[in-house]
Chain A
Amino acid sequence: MRMGYTPLGQGLVRLFEPVMPTALGNSVARLLRAAGVTGRNAVIAVPLLWLLLFFLIPFVIVLKISFAEYATAIPPYTDLIQWGDDALMSIKLNFGNYLYLVEDDLYVAAYLNSARIALVSTVMCLLIGYPMAYAIARSSPANRNILLMLVILPFWTSFLLRVYAWMGILKNNGIINNLLMGMGIIDEPIVMMQTDFAVYLGIIYSYLPFMILPLYANLEKLDVNLLEAAADLGCKPFKAFLLITLPLSLPGIIAGSMLVFIPAVGEFVIPSLLGGPDTLMIGRVLWDEFFNNRDWPVASAVAIAMLVFLVIPIMLFQHYQNRQGQS
């Protein structure tokens, strides 16, 4: 079946024709087309190949190394595929690393802890972010732009520096403690740094814009007429919110939640700067495993396990994004 003419549908190859109207040009073009190289394919190939090379293949390598053994070598792991004496390939799949993960309490605890922290943070972000997004969506168009600007501005400033700011606020001679002691409310500083509390605060603070923006985008498109119709039919305002607004904003809720939860699970900077030695998060564990213990196979196994754990939320996110794209 012949393909329809979408822009770039016949692109580059046809472009050559007026430039090289010779027999040579035409035969080159025909040869390329026969080999499947059309302008269209060439264009698709560029980002596809880049992502395959620098995104997908690295994952495959992580997978491969997760099956290797630790070795004191550079790089510090054994080869997966080894060539024997008679040039036979032997693949040594070492599940030891994965077993190690499951057996050692540290990793299981770290995974569960990360999930717990990420989940609670996501819910908190939702509780704080939803009213904010709703307020912005309901405000007058003039105010709306200013408010959006105010929400977006922190997002554009450095993530690292914003987390750093909390260090100054939460530490023992930090702003909060100084204020409370200065006002005489407390005598001893409250220990807030290097605690789970600080990590929660850090994650919620940093990821709040990621929750607000998708929620806002969804709520903004909500037809006010729907709520007016509900009121006209006798529905009280709060009930209208529960029955109409909330269900319709579900795609936004899911998008925002995924944008917070998934990266938060693997978060490193915040537990590193604000958390204590017993704030176990898997991102930090991976880092330590890699840089401090130099055990790359285990680090790889940790990463793969994290991926497996996150696959379902990631696919959920992609599914909802595609749905949005189609509507």
Chain B
Amino acid sequence: MKSILGRIRFLPVCLALGLAFLYIPILSLIIYSFNESKLVTVWSGFSTKWYGELFRNQQIIDAALLSLRIAVMSACAAVVLGTIAGFVLARMRRFRGRTLLAGMSMAPLVMPEIITGLSLLLFFIALEKMTGWPNGRGITTVTIAHITFSMAYVAVIVQSRLADMDPSLEEAAMDLGARPLKVFFAITLPIVAPALISGWLLAFTLSIDDLVIASFVSGPGASTLPMVIFSKVRLGVSPDINALATIIIGIVALGVLLAALAFKRQERLQGQDARLANLADD
């Protein structure tokens, strides 16, 4: 650690403590998922029986599959809408409704979910009263709700990636004869692709994790995984939830690890190439 600020020992200690704070609860979930006792936190022996229980729990499995479906659909739609919004805000200088779009694209990021959930439910009810659609609430309404707040996140990510991108690239493509739509698909989109991927992943995670909004806008028979978990843990701790948590943590950890490895590899290769190339200037 550079001692330029004289805080030689303060910062790493702070960091270590902070990370411990972040991870101890997560680790506790994992450890106690293997606890034989039903009381979860009173250790009575090692056992994997709760994982078996989990896979026999039809309610949880149905909810998980439902959440997955909704998450995939909403992530895909959110990426499309969010990319368009981000692109429009980043590349078009002035147009009617710009402030409105900019405001609406950013508001969901900070809006308390309670408010979004309530407003969407009331909207769907009023809509149903007026037009007859949606006929009852369920997967469709939850998906629409998730798309709406996810696209804001995607828009922010895409917008910042586009702001970093050299605008000359798009101009160069036009200069070489490509029409505007072709420029978007052949040049802009490939370069912005990493942002799209992380946007999709973010939208997916937000959807699969959402409790409050889904609770408001969902209907009978369409209980998402968070809804099922919440109704269960309201009554107290439960070891099969620990098992579920461990599985989810495992999947996420694996995903993050893979992404980090891929990113590191790409960086290493690019660094090598750049160094070799600069030797070539004569």
Q: Do chains A and B touch in the complex (CB under 8 A)?
A: yes
CB–CB A175/B107 < 8 A: no
* Binary A-proximity of B86-127 (CB < 8 A = 1, otherwise 0): 011001110101001111111111111111101110110110
CB–CB B88/A47 < 8 A: yes
Q: Name A51's contact: one of B40, B148, B249 (CB within 8 Å).
A: B148
Chain B CB within 8 A of A161 CB: yes
- Chain A residues within 8 Å of B15, by CB: 131-132, 135-136, 147
Q: From residue A326, how far is it (CB to closest CB) to chain B in Å?
A: 9
Chain A CB within 8 A of B14 CB: yes
- Chain B residues within 8 Å of A57, by CB: 123
* Binary B-proximity of A159-171 (CB < 8 A = 1, otherwise 0): 1111011111101
CB–CB B11/A228 < 8 A: no
Q: Name A165's contact: one of B81, B234, B245, B264 (CB within 8 Å).
A: B245
CB–CB B264/A145 < 8 A: yes
CB–CB A8/B29 < 8 A: no
CB–CB B163/A164 < 8 A: no
CB–CB B95/A12 < 8 A: no
CB–CB A8/B209 < 8 A: no
Chain B CB within 8 A of A40 CB: yes
Q: Give the one of B2, B81, B122 with max A CB within 10 A.
A: B122
Chain A residues numbered 195-237 whose CB sits less than 8 Å from any CB in chain B: 205, 208-209, 227-228, 231, 236-237
Q: From residue A298, how far is it (CB to closest CB) to chain B in Å?
A: 12
Q: Name B148's contact: one of A43, A50, A265, A296 (CB within 8 Å).
A: A50
Chain B CB within 8 A of A87 CB: no
* A59 and B119 contact, Cβ closer than 8 Å, known pairs A15-B181, A132-B15, A263-B112: yes
- Chain B residues within 8 Å of A132, by CB: 14-15, 18-19
* Binary B-proximity of A1-30 (CB < 8 A = 1, otherwise 0): 000011111111011000000000000000
CB–CB A267/B112 < 8 A: yes
* A44 and B92 contact, Cβ closer than 8 Å, known pairs A62-B119, A145-B260, A158-B248: yes
Chain A CB within 8 A of B199 CB: no
- Chain B residues within 8 Å of A263, by CB: 110-113
* A131 and B11 contact, Cβ closer than 8 Å, known pairs A58-B123, A306-B112: yes
Q: Name B11's contact: one of A55, A138, A272, A296 (CB within 8 Å).
A: A138
CB–CB B2/A138 < 8 A: yes
Q: How many of chain A's residues have a CB under 8 angstroms from any CB in B?
A: 107
Q: From residue A224, how far is it (CB to closest CB) to chain B in Å?
A: 8
Chain B CB within 8 A of A149 CB: yes
Q: From residue B158, how far is it (CB to closest CB) to chain A in Å?
A: 11
CB–CB A296/B122 < 8 A: yes
- Chain A residues within 8 Å of B229, by CB: 160-161, 164
Q: Name B104's contact: one of A52, A290, A322 (CB within 8 Å).
A: A52
Q: From residue B164, how far is it (CB to closest CB) to chain A in Å?
A: 11
Chain B CB within 8 A of A106 CB: no
CB–CB A7/B188 < 8 A: yes
Q: Which residues of B contact A (CB under 8 A)?
A: 1-2, 4-7, 10-12, 14-15, 18-19, 21-26, 28-29, 32, 39-42, 81-82, 84-85, 87-88, 91-93, 95, 97, 100-116, 118-120, 122-123, 125-126, 129, 144-145, 147-148, 151, 155, 159-160, 163, 170, 174, 179-181, 183-184, 188, 205, 208-209, 211-212, 226, 229-230, 233-234, 236-237, 241-242, 244-245, 248-249, 252-253, 255-257, 260, 263-264
Known: A160-B211, A161-B245, A266-B114. 13 other contacts (CB 8 A): A8-B184, A48-B97, A51-B105, A54-B123, A61-B122, A62-B118, A65-B122, A146-B260, A153-B253, A160-B230, A171-B237, A269-B230, A325-B163
- A selection of 8 A-B contacts at a CB cut-off of 8 Å is A47-B84, A47-B85, A55-B116, A62-B122, A159-B209, A162-B25, A269-B230, A322-B102
Q: Which 6 A-B pairs have the closest CB atoms?
A: A266-B112, A58-B119, A165-B25, A58-B123, A47-B85, A131-B14
